[in-house]
Structure 1
Amino acid sequence: MTIMQQSSKAQDRTLGVWFQAIQQGQVKLPRFQRYEAWDRGRITSFLNTIINNLPVGVTLALDVAGEEKFISRYIVSADPAVPGTVTQHLLDGQQRLTAFWRAMHNNYEYEDYFIYLPQFDQREAKQSADIEVYCQARWENKKETRFPVWADNTAKCLERGLFPIDLLCPGDKATAVDEWIKTATLGLKPSKDDPDAFEKLESYTAIKESLKQEINTLRERVTHFNLPYLSLPSNTPKDVALQVFINMNTNSKPLSLYDIIVAEVESVAGKSLHDLEEHLVSKCPKAARFGDVRNLILATSALLQEKTPNNKGMVEMDKQVLLDNWEKLEHGLERMANLLESQGVFDEARLPTSNVLAVVAAAYELVPEHGDFVAKAEKLLRAYLWSSFFTDRYENSAASRAYADFIGVKDKHRGIKAFLSTPDFDEKALSEVPVFNRKEHELADEDALMAAGWPKKMGIEARGILAVSNYFGAHDFADSKPASYESIQKREYHHIFPDALLSEAGIDSYYALNCALITWKTNRIIGRKDPLDYLKERVQWADEHAVSNRLKTHLVSFDLLSKAHYQGLEGEVLKTQLEADFREFMRDRAKLVHKAVVRLAAGGQPSLDSIWAASSAELAVEAQQEASS
């Protein structure tokens, strides 16, 4: 039977019937469906469509008779106490029915939904002239009080012309409606001693009856609102149901590649990729710091199957092999994250290029946990990381280049995988791997480092420079704590030569070499200052010796900063002096970073002292040459 033969016209179904089916556990979602995704704007828009009785598109369901074809889950917050027999899998319409179900229970964590009735709004500036859905954001303070407080006060809500949308929930809500109206209007009820008690009582009763009528009218509208659906018969083959699911979702809101592969894994293996993903994140949470775990899963899985880590390669993967490789995948991603952390790269915001992640994770399939080969293999992987950060290798066609670096190109060159497969590989032959070919992909020189932009933005070399600082500890200027994942979350990108100072002279300040990741301790509103004075006002340090040592961990010379004084200078005099000092600072730091890059890109693990010692030795040679000349 073809899809065309199975197609049929839409059938009517009211929200009241949908609600009951969800409540009894008869309607479930295949696990390959993406999770709840609508924001409050789309939820509000859909609910307004309902209360205004406007038409909506059809949903799609797969009938279930007996055993479910797909692993399934309930709509969010709809787990029944006593599950009923599943009769349908919802293939399209999840977001609409989830929004409806949750709104009818008003159980969103950070917002409450109300119906606005303008005739009951007692404020001068009314919100609107029309009945509409109103979304109120909610939040808590440290005492666990929900704000705004008025949203939990029925009388205050009615003063604003609002009543909670869950009063429209299908079913018997008469008691709940009456109780809410009674509580909301209690302040309007006149006392027996009131001289106009009779007239006020009539008014009070009229308000209650009018409010009840409005609520009940809307309740009827919601309960009988038609949300039509198409259904596939229960004998529809799994692959056909999946194809219909993909086609319908792609035509309305494009699915991600991960959504489609989730569906294919369900079809091939009957396992939930969402469950495996959750297990992976719980087992190796560090991996999630470096970006979308789903992309990491697909890209790494592709390389493990020797496919290019792009859309084409991911689609071509054998889905059963993807599952068979799952333990390797988890292990590789965990070790990848640990290696990056050891190199001073802690999260996605500081990652020079994401294209290295899958290569390193896939490579760990060939790296044992213990033994002499581990050191040799990880030296190769460190060299790969830093070479990727400081060459132009991944500026373009990144996925195909990652594949070539890892797998190699037949009859042209070997990849990292081939070397790791041979424990006694010759390190001198590594130049066969394109990323290590210095004729084609040279390491960034000092001039290139000086031109690298602000590392908060995307830029491989710029973020690479920041990573070099973090590698050497990048001790915080204020408390001297070394860089770590936890500590850098509280740090900000700081101009070493202040932006206000450089801007006054018309000099661009946004360079990676003029950046340090540190914590602020004082007021941010600080004007034009000399570099060290600027730092003194921003942080609280102990003494100049301590500060000098902290600056060294960022590869910044304290001596150069201490000579940079501009008080009383302005105009061309300021510009000339500042340009010379800033360029000297940038060149000095570029030399230090470059020395580190050369060693790191060779897989070495240079110490901070070795970099500064090499710099001192170079300065001594230069001084000797100047003296002899």
Structure 2
Amino acid sequence: MSFDSPIRDLETLLKDIDAGKIQLPDFQRPWKWDVDRIRSLLASIAKGFPVGVVMTLETGSDEVNFAVRPLSGARTSNATPHFLLLDGQQRLTSLYQSLLGQEPVDSCDPRGKVMRGYFYIRIDASLDPDLDMEDDAIFFVKEDRVVRANFDRDVVADFSDMEKEIAAGVFPLNKIFDTSYTRKYSRQFHNSHPDSDNMLDDFFDGPLKQLSEYKVPVIELSNTTKREAVCTVFEKVNTGGVALNVFELLTATFAAGSADFRLNDDWTARKKKIVSLRPVLSGLENTDFLQAISLLASRKRRLNYSGESEKVPGITCKRKDILKLSLDDYLEWADRLTDAFIWAGQFINNQFIFRHQDLPYRTQLVPLAAIRVALGTDADLQGVARLITRWYWSGVLGELYGGAVETRFARDLEEVEAWVRGGNEPGTVAGASFNPDRLLTLRTRNSAAYKGIYALTMRGDVKDWIYNRTINQGSYQDFAIDIHHIFPQKWCATAGIDNALVQSIVNKTPISSSTNRFISAKAPSRYVAELAARAQITAEEIHASIAAHQIEVPHLLTDDFHAFFEDRRHRLLNLIASAMGKPVLTSDLYGRDDFELFDEAELIESGAE
């Protein structure tokens, strides 16, 4: 990546904006600084203070081929830009509208209320060293150039023509580069203020000269800069705004190639469809979709590899590879992938995950959807579904999808597809393990494993203890099911139970908000007895309902927290081992080790759910 770092006249930059020589890549966000912030910027320039570096990108290459638009307020429409503005949009747009544009500055107050008008500078105040340039000299006037008070009934000041400006001793900042205006202003000012003691000359040689001859350092990136570098550079310099991602960059790239296609509009419609059918995927992001597109496009290139070159194309979804996607790549896979994400949402629901906040890893949806496209309807075959389910839970319970996981995505797509066709276990399955001690530290939804175990505890005919309805997608919503303590916190605190154990997922289970309120701070022996009466069922029935939550009821009847905790810990480890399809080395709380072995039929049955 090559670049120059010239010092440019502010006037030249603003006139290049006006002529369309400098424009914005379409991935830039809209502009709107408030009036106070613009006034502060103008004051800094009037005092000769530095206001930061501007960064531009030279146009004229395939790498720099983005849809473009003028800066807000610029008069150009169809000009071809020489440079794209990467950093400095807010500053240069503010300065263009304030100092060169002839239309009112389109701004707002600090609360966001729209304000349109012009900036002025008080000549005498700008020259007074005891006054502040920002607070006392530079001010904003609404677009009719009249200052009013008393609910707009009284006119306080009128700057609607040059004669009135001169009488008030103010100068319009959008005329500083207009030499004919400044000459006329000077003549009339001296005629109107013959005793001004050269005040206007001091103003022209001081604050006005600082503004009109201000220099701006510019970093100019050459048009050989790669798209990935553009994305990285933008992220680094755009610290005051929202970080640019590959989606915005591709939006601009695709728009440059086809004026009829808007990536953002297409994605918005697809996500709306996906979420309307599968609300659990409401957190799905546009970059997730592009990663899956990249996986499938690169997989196709690999499958079509003829062996003519030395390097076999890799399956990939890294940023640099996403930025190489063409519009044709996107359109080839987008429909199938939309259907695959809808399928993935149903798969997630089948794992008893019903809300997006309970989804262990949003990122794991990327390879899951890509796998569905690669396998087609074979993904629904019972044996194949069992393997995909094992892969999914291995990733969740092995906590393998945090951080940068693009390489795992690519490996999973290739290896899971091969696995279901008779190949070896994927690395995600073979390498996943669960440390039993992890149960003691899983206490909040911040952990994917916590969310995963929560979902596992709903497998099978698990019911709420009051409503006695099996927990499924409908009852989960109807009865506000959530994860709550089995031994209540207050009771445990009174009994002196270690809070680390109390907050562990071992002491939590899915029940309705009504059941949780009924339990309150009661001793388990008390609420178990009272639940039967509340639910209007027998003691045996309520015991069976509680036992389905992987709970040994006698431990609740005797209020024996430690016996309950140790027993349920082993039961949860059984669920984990069943979901992952492999034994888990366990130990009791006193350090005695033993291997938990699981019946193969049980593993198969559980994995096929």
Fold conserved (TM > 0.5)? yes
Instruction: Give the Cα separation in 2 of the matches to 1:321 and 1:328.
Output: 14
Task: Tell me the equivalent position of 1:297.
Answer: 290
C-alpha distance in structure 1 between counterparts of 2:152 and 2:249, whole Å: 51
Equivalent position of 2:334 in the other structure: 326
Partners of 2:340 and 2:576 lie apart in 1 by: 30
For 1:512 and 1:350, how far apart are their aligned partners in 2?
14
Please, which of 358, 383, 388 is the counterpart of residue 390 of structure 2? Answer: 383
Q: Output the CA distance in 1 between the equivalents of 2:442 and 2:412.
A: 27
Q: Distance in 2 between matches of 1:600 and 1:219?
A: 85
Cα distance in 1 for residues equivalent to 2:31 and 2:524: 47
Post-superposition offset of 1:183: 0.5
SS at match of 1:352: coil
**CA offsets, 1:303-346, max 9 Å, x none?**
65144656477468554674243334333333222322222234
1:580 offset after TM fit, Å?
2.9
Deviations 1:489-547 (A, max 9, x none): 96654222223333442422222232235554699999853247679999x96445699
Shift of the 541–583 alpha-carbon distance from structure 1 to 2, 3 Å rule, reads: same
Alignment of 1:509-588 (within 5 A): 509-517=502-510, 520=513, 528-531=521-524, 542-543=535-536, 548=542, 555-557=549-551, 559-560=553-554, 562-565=556-559, 577-588=560-571
How far apart are the structure 2 equivalents of 1:451 and 1:277?
41
Aligned 8 A contact 1:495 1:514 in 2: yes
CA distance in 2, matches of 1:93, 1:511: 50
Equivalent residue for 1:432?
425
Deviation at 1:465, TM superposition (A): 0.6
Shift of 1:35: 3.3
Equivalent position SS for 1:516: strand
Does 2:279 match 1:281? no
2:238: which partner in 1? Answer: 253
Q: CA contact under 8 A between 1:450 and 1:513: conserved in structure 2?
A: yes
Distance 2:548 2:170 in 1: 65
Q: Determine the C-alpha separation between the residues in 2 that align with 1:388 and 1:477.
A: 31
Query: Counterpart of 1:378 in 2: which secondary structure?
Result: helix
Counterpart for residue 496 of structure 1:
486
Return the alpha-carbon distance in structure 2 between the equivalents of residues 519 and 51 of structure 1: 60
Per-residue deviation at 1:453?
Answer: 0.9
State the AA in 2 paired with 1:302.
L
Deviation at 1:97, TM superposition (A): 6.2
Conservation of the 8 A alpha-carbon contact between 1:268 and 1:319: no
Q: 1:464 pairs with 435, 452, 471, which one?
A: 452
For 1:344, which of 328, 342, 352 is the aligned residue? 352
1:626 maps to what in 2? none
Kindly report the root-mean-square deviation, in angstroms, between the aligned alpha carbons of the 2 structures.
Answer: 5.9
Distance in 2 separating the partners of 1:99 and 1:466: 52
Q: Normalised by the size of structure 1, how large is the TM-score?
A: 0.58
C-alpha distance 472-44 of structure 1, shift in aligned 2 (>3 A): farther
Deviation at 1:299, TM superposition (A): 5.3
- Structure 2 counterpart of 1:353: 361
Structure 2 runs not aligned, ≥5 long: 99-103, 118-130, 177-210, 300-313, 582-600
* Aligned partner of residue 404 in structure 1, secondary structure: helix
SS at match of 2:353: coil
The aligned counterpart of 2:302 is none
Report what 2:144 is aligned to.
173
SS of the residue 2:151 aligns to: helix
Whether the 8 Å CA contact 2:247–2:286 is kept in 1: the answer is no
Distance in 2 (alpha carbons) for counterparts of 1:37 and 1:601: 57
Question: Could you say if the C-alpha distance between residues 554 and 84 of structure 1 is closer, same or farther in structure 2, counting changes exceeding 3 Å?
Answer: farther
**Corresponding letter in the other structure for 1:418:** A
Structure 2 counterpart of 1:284, which letter? I
Report matched runs for 1:183-262 at 5 Å.
Answer: 183=151, 208=156, 220=172, 246=231, 249=234, 252-253=237-238, 256=244, 258=246, 262=250
For 1:11, the equivalent position in structure 2 comes to 9
Deviations 1:8-67 (A, max 9, x none): 542324999899x69xx9986322x243599x9x997666434665642354567999xx
Structure-2 residue corresponding to 1:404: 411
Aligned sequence identity (%):
15
Of the candidates 49, 57, 65, which is equivalent to residue 52 of structure 2? 57
CA displacement at 1:268 relative to structure 2: 8.9
- How many residues matched? 490
Conserved 8 A contact 1:303-1:359: no
**C-alpha distance 11-515 of structure 1, shift in aligned 2 (>3 A):** farther
| Contact 1:26–1:87 (8 Å) recurs in 2 | yes
Aligned equivalent of 1:29: 24
| Partner secondary structure for residue 494 of structure 1 | strand
Residue by residue, what CA displacement relative to the aligned partner does 1:442-488 show, whole Å, maximum 9, x if unpaired?
Answer: 5x48x457446124122x43221112134558766676694549939
Q: Does 1:94 align with 2:94?
A: no
Q: Which range moved further: 546-555 or 49-58?
A: 546-555
Q: Secondary structure at the match of 2:52?
A: coil
Check conservation: 2:25, 2:67, Cα contact below 8 A.
yes
Give the alignment of 1:127-142 within 5 angstroms.
none
Deviates more, 1:356-365 or 1:517-526: 517-526
Corresponding residue number in structure 2 for 1:194 = none
The one-letter amino acid of 1:30's match is P
Normalising by the residue count of structure 2, what TM-score does the alignment of the two structures yield?
Answer: 0.59
The separation in 2 between residues aligned to 1:398 and 1:372, in whole angstroms, is 23
Q: Is the 8 A contact 2:479 2:513 kept in 1?
A: no
Q: Which residue of 2 aligns with 1:198?
A: none
1:383 partner amino acid: R
Distance in 1 (alpha carbons) for counterparts of 2:557 and 2:169: 79
Aligned residues of 1:405 and 1:433 also touching (Cα < 8 A) = yes
1:550–1:338: structure 2 CA closer, same or farther, 3 Å change rule? farther
CA contact (8 A) 1:92 1:249 kept: yes
Partner Cα separation in structure 2 for residue 434 and residue 282 of structure 1: 34
